[in-house]
Amino acid sequence: MPASRRAPPSWIRARPAPDFEAPALRWCRVSSTRFEIIRTLGEGGMGVVYEARDKERDMVVALKTLRTMDANLLYHFKNEFRSLADLSHPNLCSLYELFQSDGHWFFTMELVEGTDFMSWISPRDEAAKMKFDPTMPAGSAPPGSLVELGAGRGHSGTMLEFAGKAPSASQSMPIKLPDQAITDASLMPFDEPRLRASLAQLAAGLDALHATGKVHRDIKPGNILVAKDGRVVIMDFGLVADDALLAELRETRMIAGTPTFMAPEQGIPGATVGASADWYAVGVMLYQILTSRLPFSGATVQELIEAKRTSPPSPSSLAFGVPLDLADLSHRLLSPDPASRPTGEEVLRLLGSRMSAPMLGQTHGHGPGNVELFVGRRAELGVLHNALAESRPKDRGGAGAVSVFVEGPSGLGKSALVKRFLDELSGTGTLILKGRCYAEETVAYKAFDGIVDALSRHLVTMDQYRVMDMFPQSTMMAARLFPVLRRVPVFANAVTHDPNVSALELRTRAFAAVVELLARVAAMQPLVLFVDDLQWADPDSLLLLREVLHPNAAPPLTFVASIRTGADPDAPMNLARTAGVEPRWIKIQPLSADDAALLVDRILPREAASDARRAEIAREAAGHPLFLAELAHHASQHANSNLASTTQLDEALWQRTMALDHDTRHLLHIIAVAGSPIELRVAADASGLSNARVAPLAGALRVARFVKTSNTSTGTSLVEPYHDRVREAVVTRLDPSQFAVVSSHLAHAMLRAGMAETAPELVVRHLFAAGDTARGRDLAEKAANRSLAALAFDRAAEFLRSAIAAGPRDAAHARTLQIALAEALASGGRGAEAADAYLAAATLGDDEERLDCRRHAADQLLVSGHVDRGLTELRGVLATLGERVHESPQEALAAMALDREEIDSGRIAMVPIADVAPQPHPSLLRMVDVYHSPSLGLLLVDNVRGAASQARALRLAAQAGDHRRLLRALVFEAIYRAQESDAGRTRALELLGMAAAVARLREDEDPWMSAYLVLGNAFVAYYYGQFARAVDIFKDADKRFRTLPNV
């Protein structure tokens, strides 16, 4: 391939492409929808690099593609990305995201605007620089430079494969060097202050890379850029290797690197290559800068490698006036013995003493999370593995669904334990679906939200014909609760709404669909569901969990949940009871003394603290893993700090945040105040920083274990605090005015991002925190209506409570909100709370409205078992109407006898003659409803007063002639009569016949009337002792009532 077509080793925007080429990414769905290709930056043997706009993040990036699907190229391509995926440093190029789409691979990374290292160091004479640097990027290097060697194995550097012998002369072009060295320091084409500052940054970046156990293996001027602000950025990690890859290269006797700059051991097949090889390359660069010549020459690669087995002449012997400390450093770095070269710590110390901090740039500490924080816990892991082994179908000797709850205080290692368990399942064919509940989030069914997202990701990757076979029509209703399932083609057109069905019945059907959905997945492979922080689950989630783990119908799966304990030690057990679950319990305890000591040793270098100091840290942390990690890290950074009790943890975290630069710290404030995961672009908007600026800052916070990031099923980047204690350490130290300002920025950024529709609970919370209560109230009311439509009654109730607390517009609005709250609570089965809301609404309306609200309150109290309170309210309602509750059984019996005599005498027509009901006075209808209220609530607890109230309701309903009220009264009268003697049961059948006659007055069948008729027949069958028949009829009645809205 011609040199002009080669991929440059860096993405410099200053030089436009000679002509625009049609992007080669049109075949890639992700790239075409998310990325806008601007121009081609370069291409080589491995792939093509583009300048592109990331529409999701609204930033310009460099986008590197894999040209062909060769297995080795793919391995190294992914390795290039992953080498920095968990590392963030201002002197290392930030890599963003790795993609595989439609069989193609690409990743995005930071687009550095600047110049190459040599141009920055030698700005005076570009022509001199061209002569000075024999390794210019492809397309601009002079003939004979080493970069003209072929990129074997698809790498940007030279990778040569040996079969037990050194490379031949044919493997290289001749090396052309300057004819003479500069002998006067005043003529040297470099800026010494810039050189020192840039070398220090280069050393800092390399040291950070080496700290993760990786070696770059291709350090050279062309792979180092300097941004306009002087920031040095190491680029091109195509040859980077960790211990595993280095071992593989030794076994395959493969070498890699650019011969001019690579260390002598890199040219020896099978030799050990470590971090010292990168420092050797730095020595070559420094030597070249100081002397204007390379330290070694050779006509071929073989001769060059042989020459490097000795030390070169000292730079000070070749050029007068060079800085002696830099000359000495260069000479030591070029030692042929790797062990004799200075370490990164030595290089930084030598360079850092002669440069200013601003030029060094802000280096973000890696935090305590860079070590593996899991030790011990073998017994707890055994419980989890046993649960998985037993979660087989019952007909195959298993226990069906097995649940395990892992409880303990925050930071004690619950999530780490489960993560280790899940990691140990890797490669076993187990499907793992994970979710998490967030304290500040009010998403409906949030305990299952992440699980279903993960399930959708799994299903869309499967063969869709197979998916169609797996899931019948009965599972489609699951999309009602979790619309994300519509990403799966078989669910795309699922019908999940029926206007003739009640909200409660729709939810019941949806619950059953979710259970069947999980059962069919579990039938294909072992299934593990994990919910982190179940203590924050909403009531709707616990109702669904009860159905999923019901002993009679639970799929054969393993359900694992972590629960954070707090002030109430009974909270986890109460949570399990509420969910109807009988789990196996793992109570996380502090680490043993031995495990705590082991953890400290893993975190704290031996030379950083004495044994006594380590013991002190272990004692102060009391076996708490998070505290151990943070305090050990704090001790390593502040050797003279006084460690106190665990209350010092927040202070240690806060001190670490104060070491961040202003922009990074401000971004952390935004993320902490957000309270739950937010999109990275929203955090950027709220912070006032560009997306391009925020991306590396978020990476730095992630590496320092201040935040953690994740991607949604659609590829959206999310960010959140790494742990609740990080959030608390930040939020509690913001004064109220700061908190309000940050909340306002968040709220408005969320509104601009359209989150009023997608995550209204977050926007509402931040609007309130910012003091914008009117806007927050209106949004909360809209969100409540959407929640009701989604059958999330508890979530709707929370939104309505927020709107009420914010202050309604006027009394009428307040009453509307209270009634809506009452109806949501009633639909959710929370009768006592619904009654309170009705009573609150009663204080805000006129007399008739007040009476109706109090009657509804009495209804809810009676049917929810709060009989005394319900009767008290009923007394008040009847008193308003000039009536009274029967206070004694004798009084109730007497009143009932009079009303029944009137009913049975035939003086009142029980079945209207006309098929059109009269229009009775509203006050009479209200009386019917008031007397009907106790009928159901008192049926099984005080049937005498219930029967008396019911008889009065029937007599009044007959007078009113309203068909529905009359039928309802006839049915309940039949139910009460059926409890009595044989004569009563006979009369009950007659009353049911009258009710059927009333129903026949309608031209079309009325589902409401039919449901009441079936209910009456069920009770009568029960009281006749026909229990099996009664059960069947009750089931029919239940089914019918669930299809009725607002019943």
The Cβ-side half-sphere exposure at 769, using a 13 Å CA radius, reads: 25
Burial-class residue 451 by CB neighbours within 10 Å (0-12, 13-18, 19+). buried
1025 CB-near residues (< 8 Å, 6+ apart): none
Residue whose tokens read 């963030």 = 88
Q: How far apart are CA 406 and CA 543, in angstroms?
A: 20
For residue 234, give Cα distances in angstroms to 110, 121, 227, 525, 967.
11, 15, 11, 45, 83
Sheet containing 104-109: give its strands across. Answer: 35-43, 48-54, 59-65, 104-109, 95-101
Say which amino acid occupies 581.
Answer: V
DSSP readout, 690-744?
A: -HHHHHHHHHHHHHTTSEEEEE-TT--EEEEESSHHHHHHHHTTS-HHHHHHHHH
pLDDT tens track for 735-744: 999 999 999 9
Give the closest residue to 217 by CA, choosing from 243, 239, 185.
239
pLDDT tens track for 459-474: 877 888 888 888 888 8
Give the SS3 label for residue 241.
strand
Sheet containing 402-408: give its strands across. Answer: 431-436, 527-532, 558-564, 402-408, 584-587
Give the closest residue to 788 by CA, choosing from 1045, 548, 1042.
1045
Enumerate the domain spans of the chain. Answer: 3-109, 116-147+162-360, 378-587, 592-646, 808-885, 887-1042
- Asked if domains 3-109 and 378-587 share a fold, the reply is no
Query: pTM for this one?
Result: 0.56
Burial-class residue 610 by CB neighbours within 10 Å (0-12, 13-18, 19+). exposed
Is pLDDT above 80 for 608?
Answer: no
Q: What local confidence, expressed as pLDDT, does residue 396 receive?
A: 66
Q: How far apart are CA 305 and CA 288, in angstroms?
A: 17
DSSP readout, 79-101?
A: HHHHHHHT---TTBPPEEEEEEE
pLDDT tens track for 33-81: 788 999 988 776 567 889 999 887 788 999 998 777 554 565 577 678 7
Q: What average pLDDT does this structure show over 1012-1035? A: 93
10 Å Cβ neighbour count for 630? 28
Q: How far apart are CA 994 and CA 912, in angstroms?
A: 10
CATH of domain 116-147+162-360: 1.10.510.10
Eight-class DSSP state of 152 = G
Q: How far apart are CA 848 and CA 664, in angstroms?
A: 60
For the chain, the helix, strand and coil percentages under 3-state DSSP, each to the nearest 5: 55, 10, 35
Q: What local confidence, expressed as pLDDT, does residue 75 receive?
A: 58
* Percent with pLDDT over 90 in the chain: 26
Residue whose tokens read 């159905």 = 547
71 CB-near residues (< 8 Å, 6+ apart): none
Is pLDDT above 70 for 521?
Answer: yes
The Cβ-side half-sphere exposure at 396, using a 13 Å CA radius, reads: 10
3.40.50.300, 3.30.200.20, 3.40.190.10, 1.10.10.10: CATH of 3-109: 3.30.200.20
Give the closest residue to 933 by CA, choosing from 888, 960, 972, 882.
972
Eight-class DSSP state of 215 = B
Is pLDDT above 50 for 137?
Answer: no
Residue whose tokens read 């937010």 = 678
**What confidence tier does 280 reach under pLDDT thresholds 50, 70, 90?**
very high
Mean pLDDT for the chain?
79
**What confidence tier does 933 reach under pLDDT thresholds 50, 70, 90?**
confident
Mean pLDDT is highest, among 10-19, 23-32, 181-190, for 181-190
Q: How open is the CA angle 221-258-67, to the nearest 5 degrees? A: 95
The Cβ-side half-sphere exposure at 821, using a 13 Å CA radius, reads: 28
* Per-residue three-class SS string for 25-66: CCCCHHHHHHEEEEEEEEECCCCEEEEEEECCCCEEEEEEEC
Q: Which of 250-264, 274-288, 918-932 has the lowest mean pLDDT?
A: 250-264
Is pLDDT above 60 for 147?
Answer: no
Q: Which helix (H) or strand (E) holds 877?
A: helix 867-880
Q: Could you tell me which residues are beta bridge partners of residue 320?
A: 184
Give the closest residue to 148 by CA, choosing from 126, 168, 121, 176.
176
CB of 528 within 8 A of CB of 558? Answer: yes
Q: How far apart are CA 487 and CA 453, in angstroms?
A: 10
DSSP readout, 253-270?
A: TEEEE-TTTS-GGGGSTT
Strands 527-532 and 558-564: parallel
Is pLDDT above 90 for 1017?
Answer: yes
CATH of domain 378-587: 3.40.50.300
Q: How far apart are CA 838 and CA 823, in angstroms?
A: 9
Produce one character per residue of 693-704: b if its CB has 16 or more CB atoms within 10 Å, e if not: bbbbbbbbbbbb
Is pLDDT above 60 for 118?
Answer: yes
Q: How open is the CA angle 287-291-293, to the nearest 5 degrees? A: 80
Eight-class DSSP state of 604 = S
Give the SS3 label for residue 297.
coil
Mean pLDDT is highest, among 572-581, 928-937, 1030-1039, for 1030-1039
Burial-class residue 969 by CB neighbours within 10 Å (0-12, 13-18, 19+). buried
Q: How far apart are CA 933 and CA 831, in angstroms?
A: 14
Is pLDDT above 90 for 353?
Answer: no
674 CB-near residues (< 8 Å, 6+ apart): 683, 720, 746, 762, 766
Q: Which of 402-416, 450-464, 553-567, 699-713 has the lowest mean pLDDT?
A: 699-713
Q: Which of 115-124, 928-937, 981-990 has the lowest mean pLDDT?
A: 115-124
Burial-class residue 606 by CB neighbours within 10 Å (0-12, 13-18, 19+). exposed
Q: How far apart are CA 334 and CA 309, in angstroms?
A: 10
Burial-class residue 536 by CB neighbours within 10 Å (0-12, 13-18, 19+). buried
Q: Could you tell me which residues are beta bridge partners of residue 107?
A: 64, 98
CB of 725 within 8 A of CB of 649? Answer: yes
Q: What local confidence, expressed as pLDDT, does residue 26 receive?
A: 45
CB of 643 within 8 A of CB of 616? Answer: yes
